[in-house]
Chain A
Amino acid sequence: MHRLLLISAIVIGVPVLAYLLIGRGHSAMSVDDVIKSSWATATPEWQARLSQDETQRVCSQHRNAPPAGIADAILAREKATIKYPADGKLMGDWKKGEQLAQSGYGGRFTDYPPRTASGGNCYACHQMDGKELSFGTLGPSLREYGKIRKYAADDVKAVYDRIYNPHAAIPCANMPRMGASGFLTIDQIKDLVAFVMSPESPVNK
């Protein structure tokens, strides 16, 4: 008799309890579900931008302060993405670099089909040429960056790496991976390196 009561309690009780706990309007909604449903009208090609790679995932999870083990994994993984120019020259034309630093064009859905090359948009976040007053402060000032470092070859390479993939030096850096993402070409990155590291560049005047 008791067993029968127990069984009927389970048979009736469990679904009722489940309905009360999870029931209509309470079903667990995940961030991924929300992402999927909130860009439902975008094309599959554009929707692909919403999925995260491993670095984006762990940096989001740890709010850009990854624990040691994960930080090391990011450094190693991102370092491996950096590609260098075939001729080994890391500095291009600083004048072209200056234009790239000014331009914030590219990558937005209103930028397609592209009307011009994508820019580096450096001034959005960094101070560079002292005469340019319209600069952002999300990143550090790069005033006299090359001059302060005596234009050393190691620093030229470090700047190239930093633009190509900042996570290779600072895990979960705020700055975009301009080279690794393919947003800028190797030649464009060389021009930006020259803008930062060349003695003739207004950045170092």
Chain B
Amino acid sequence: MRLRRSLAAFFTCLVLVVPAVALDETEKELERYRQMLKDDPWSNPAMLDADRGEALWKEKRGPKAASLEACDLGKGPGKVDGVFAELPRYFADAHRVMDLETRLVWCMEKLQGFAHADIIKRPYSKANQAGTELEALATYVASKSRGLKYQPSLAHAKEKQTLAIGEALFFRRQGPMDFSCATCHADTGRRIRLQSLPFLGKPEEARKVIGEWPAYRVSQGTVMTMQHRIADCYWQMRLPLIDYGSDATVALGMYLVNQAKGGEITAPSIKR
């Protein structure tokens, strides 16, 4: 906790002290910090979540008193190393393309016997709280693909279809402000206020950022997953709260991962 607080203070100072004209300096400082994290990943508070996620993965829990060690994340039951680099993917048992989080929910339901509604009741942590169980588990699994490159599968027809839907959703304008994802993420070097926006339609830029999630968000003092990231964008777009693990979130994730294909996974990274 002390680490979290001091980190938050460090970044708050950074954001407050550095004037807009020196925005690039803030980015440079963040980049320097990310490099430090690369050298010593355990200095990232999100690794506490990853650690807790590993314990949760191995612990016998739920009405069926089972661990998640028999969970098939795509490379066979219990296999965690490298699975995140190949998600989302089609799972025959669920007849569905699933991302990491959707699949974790599936395993908690089927293997441990938790009720679906209970698992997704509170999927996101609030500011300055430790990650939820789902966030901890997702951070753990993602961290086991660090250094690998995204290699999403498009072998199955459903995977191709999911990608096409994700792309359509990315450009779909709706709501009282006519926003789509592309409103903010379809050009290089743009900002909202001082926040730089990645051009997610451009693979070079997508590769740099998509592999960072789940990430520790300093402004929130907590870890944030891709499901949460997407839900937050839709909130800003003035749309209703998107359902956790819904097909739209998986399809958008599929589009983003395909844009970032070949990009290195650095999760859990650290974001402003």
Given pairs A29-B165, A38-B247, 6 additional interface contacts (CB within 8 A): A25-B96, A28-B161, A31-B165, A49-B238, A107-B177, A109-B235
B246-A37 in contact (CB<8A): yes
- 8 Å CB contact of A181 from B176, B240, B248: B176
**Interface locus among A10-18, A79-87, A90-98, A132-140:** A132-140
User: What secondary structure prevails in chain B residues at the interface with A?
Assistant: mixed
Q: Sort chain A's interface into a size bin.
A: 35 or more
**Interface locus among A51-59, A151-159, A189-197:** A51-59
Q: Sort chain B's interface into a size bin.
A: 35 or more
B241-A109 in contact (CB<8A): yes
Q: Give chain A residues whose Cβ lies under 8 Å from the Cβ of B182.
A: 63-64
B142-169 at interface with A (beta carbon < 8 Å): 157-158, 161-162, 165, 168-169
Q: Give chain A residues whose Cβ lies under 8 Å from the Cβ of B178.
A: 55-56, 59, 176-177, 181
Q: Within the assembled complex, what's the spacing in Å between the Cα atoms of A182 and B176?
A: 8
- 8 Å CB contact of A52 from B19, B174, B238: B174
Which residues does B use to contact A, with CB under 8 Å?
A: 19-21, 90, 92, 95-96, 157-158, 161-162, 165, 168-169, 171-180, 182-184, 187, 189-195, 197, 235-236, 238-243, 246-249, 251
Q: Within the assembled complex, what's the spacing in Å between the Cα atoms of A59 and B172?
A: 8
Q: Name 5 interchain pairs, CB-CB below 8 A, sorted by A.
A: A25-B95, A39-B246, A49-B175, A108-B236, A136-B195
B95-A42 in contact (CB<8A): no
A108-B20 in contact (CB<8A): no
A64-104 at interface with B (beta carbon < 8 Å): 64
User: Which residue of the partner chain B has the closest CB to A50?
Assistant: B174
B240-A47 in contact (CB<8A): yes
A56 in contact with B240 given A24-B95, A31-B165, A125-B192 (CB within 8 Å): no
Q: Give chain B residues whose Cβ lies under 8 Å from the Cβ of A134.
A: 20, 193-194
Q: Which 9 A-B pairs have the closest CB atoms?
A: A133-B20, A38-B246, A38-B248, A42-B240, A46-B240, A176-B177, A25-B95, A107-B238, A56-B173
Q: Give chain A residues whose Cβ lies under 8 Å from the Cβ of B197.
A: 138
Q: Within the assembled complex, what's the spacing in Å between the Cα atoms of A47 and B242?
A: 10
Q: At the interface, yes or no: A35 with Cβ under 8 Å from chain B?
A: yes
A29-B235 in contact (CB<8A): no
Q: Give chain A residues whose Cβ lies under 8 Å from the Cβ of B175.
A: 49-50
B19-A133 in contact (CB<8A): yes
Q: At the interface, yes or no: A174 with Cβ under 8 Å from chain B?
A: yes
Q: Within the assembled complex, what's the spacing in Å between the Cα atoms of A26 and B67?
A: 32
